[in-house]
Amino acid sequence: MVYHSSFVDEGGVTKACGCPLLPLKSHIKGPAPVSDQESIDIVDEAITFFRANVFFRNFDIKSSADKLLIYLTYYVNVALKRLEGCRTLAEGTKAIINLGLEEVPVPGESGFPFPGLFTPPKGHQEALLFRNYLKQIREETSGRLLGVAYRPNGTPNKWWLAFAKRKFVNIIAL
């Protein structure tokens, strides 16, 4: 059984492209509201559930937060693919920074991995808001992922990097 997000649609959460802009425990500037440092956020859930959810070919959506969880699971898969050949934390950090500098597509643009999962933006402002949110959440996920993909001594954690070979919902990470 797939692990779903514990964040259900609550009032007062801003949405863009049919996706809630959930709060993050982040110091990175962006449109996401700031969450309490002791609470669990969507990035924590994505990293915690990744190794179980990556085995599934289907993912039934129970809340709109599950859409974000699907996107983050795919992004963790892409990031692990980039880290696969990096033998030190310094090399991994460089690879993740380069991944973060890439253009972030939004629904309706070529290169967006899940056409039909999110609604296309209604205008330029919504597209910009969603792009900035995705950029912020990708940067936050990358930073936290380095903490689990590499041991404290800077060597790769094979129990994480082995999952780079998996396909999530039959999508090959590039």
- Say which residue the tokens 């290169």 belong to: 111
Does residue 174 surpass a pLDDT of 60? no
Q: Say if CB 82 and CB 95 are below 8 A apart.
A: yes
* Residue 100 contacts residue 42 (beta carbons within 8 Å): no
The band of 75, judged by pLDDT with boundaries at 50, 70 and 90, is very high
Contact assessment for residue 72 and residue 141, using Cβ atoms and an 8 Å cutoff: yes
What's the mean per-residue pLDDT of the chain? Answer: 89
Contacts of 82 (CB under 8 A, 6+ apart): 95, 96, 98, 99
Task: Indicate if the pLDDT at residue 10 is higher than 80.
Answer: no
Which one has a higher pLDDT value, 100 or 156?
156
The CA distance from 95 to 100, in Å, is 9
- Rounded CA-CA distance 93/143 in Å is 8
Structural element, H or E, at residue 79: helix 64-83
Q: What does DSSP say about strands 15-16 and 19-20: parallel, antiparallel, or unpaired?
A: antiparallel
pLDDT band at 60 (very low <50, low <70, confident <90, very high): confident
Q: What residues does 152 pair with on adjacent strands?
A: none
Residue 16 has what pLDDT?
93
All residues at 6 or more sequence positions from 16 whose CB lies less than 8 Å from its CB, including other chains: 121, 126, 129, 130, 133
- Structural domains of the chain, ranges and CATH numbers in brackets: 15-165 (1.10.1760.10)
Q: How far apart are CA 21 and CA 12, in angstroms?
A: 10
46-67 average pLDDT score:
87
Write out pLDDT tens, residues 137-148: 999 999 999 999
Residue linked to tokens 């950029």: 135
Tokens 């060597």 label which residue?
155
